[in-house]
Amino acid sequence: MGSKDEDVTVLLADARSQVSAVTAFEFRSACKSYAKDNVSTAVLKDVSLSAKPGEFIALVGPSGSGKSTLLNLLAGLLKVTSGEVIFQGKPVRAVNTQVGYVTQRDNLVPWRTVEGNLALPLEIRKVSRAETETRVRAAVEQVGLSGFGKHYPSELSGGMRKRVTLARALIYGANTLLMDEPFGALDAQLKLVIEEELMELWHAAHPTILYVTHDLTEAITLADRVVVFSSRPAQILAIENIDIPRPRDLNTTRFLPYFRDVHERLWALLKANLSDTRENRHG
């Protein structure tokens, strides 16, 4: 039989592994600096955040604060300068092929049709041709693009291109989605329609989502928690639980008094940081 201390150590190790098993991802004191021409710029400073499986987290913050950088760390496209990034219990050390990533720039391949673009992640994973065809057909339907499978990206509207990038991120059934201002450029009505579709998808499959947006209203309307970044180097200024029951009516949620309270509070934080950035730049 082990000593009491040993027992406690075993229990702690057990508890820790259980904690990591129930988190979808975690940033532990993550710091990131970029070096260019011998000058190092700190972009993320001590970011600690963990997500439960199936949670919808929205991230807002000033332009250039480091939001895309955070997603790139979780996608394994960048490495932390210090701290750790954990995905489903394991440190991210290489490209994380288990996440679906809707990047800020829609990087559809122009010489491939909608179907060809959707097939690409499956081809890379060496999924059989028959299986690829079935999944591509289902994905085209899922995002409302039936009849457009043979179109090239240049033949699509902005909203349709967004639908293709969403379908491409979903196509291999990743349980975690990183979305970087996915619907930012769309007009208000279309944005609402696509957000509703995203909510339906989320309710059906319950992926964990880390969603970057400039739009605080969108963040509060969609998310379980909203994270507010400061200006660069980004630190977390607030993590707000959004206690609005689901399913939510995306049209009317913004008129709830509770929504207005949260919005006012978070907007005050964001605004203070935006003016910080301006003063720093000109000061």
Ligand X SMILES: Nc1ncnc2c1ncn2[C@@H]1O[C@H](COP(=O)(O)OP(=O)(O)OP(=O)(O)O)[C@@H](O)[C@H]1O
The answer to whether the beta carbons of residues 197 and 181 sit under 8 Å apart is no
Q: Contacts from 216-220 at CB under 8 Å and sequence distance 24+? A: 216/60, 216/263, 216/266, 216/267, 216/270, 217/254, 217/263, 218/58, 218/183, 218/191, 219/58, 219/59, 219/60, 220/58, 220/244, 220/253, 220/254, 220/259, 220/262, 220/263, 220/266
Query: Binds 163, which of ligand X, Mg ion, none (CB < 5 to 8 A, cut-off by type)?
Result: none
The answer to whether the beta carbons of residues 213 and 60 sit under 8 Å apart is yes
Angle at 85 between CA 220 and CA 37, to 5 degrees: 100
Residues 214-273 that bind ligand X (CB under 6 A): 232
Shorter beta-carbon distance to Mg ion: residue 23 or 72: 72
The answer to whether the beta carbons of residues 157 and 187 sit under 8 Å apart is no
Query: Binds 43, which of Mg ion, ligand X, none (CB < 5 to 8 A, cut-off by type)?
Result: ligand X
Among 23, 68, 132, 221, binds Mg ion (CB under 5 A): 68
In angstroms, what is the minimal distance from the CB of 97 to ligand X?
21
Shorter beta-carbon distance to ligand X: residue 140 or 177: 177
DSSP 197-227: HHHHHHHHH--EEEEE-S-HHHHHHH-SEEE
Shorter beta-carbon distance to ligand X: residue 201 or 210: 210
Query: Binds 63, which of Mg ion, ligand X, none (CB < 5 to 8 A, cut-off by type)?
Result: ligand X
In angstroms, what is the minimal distance from the CB of 106 to ligand X?
14
Rounded Cα gap, residues 60 and 211, in angstroms: 9
CA distances from 264 to 11, 72, 73, 203, 257 (A): 44, 30, 30, 28, 11
In angstroms, what is the minimal distance from the CB of 68 to ligand X?
3
Rounded Cα gap, residues 75 and 48, in angstroms: 16
Shorter beta-carbon distance to ligand X: residue 34 or 258: 34
Shorter beta-carbon distance to ligand X: residue 61 or 76: 61
Query: Binds 64, which of Mg ion, ligand X, none (CB < 5 to 8 A, cut-off by type)?
Result: ligand X
Residues 90-129 that bind ligand X (CB under 6 A): 104
In angstroms, what is the minimal distance from the CB of 242 to ligand X?
21
Residue 34 is a binding residue for ligand X (CB under 6 A): yes
In angstroms, what is the minimal distance from the CB of 218 to ligand X?
14
Residues 93-152 that bind Mg ion (CB under 5 A): 104
Residues 44-73 that bind ligand X (CB under 6 A): 61, 63-69
How many chain residues bind ligand X (CB under 6 A)?
13
Residues in contact with ligand X by CB under 6 A are 34, 36, 43, 61, 63-69, 104, 232
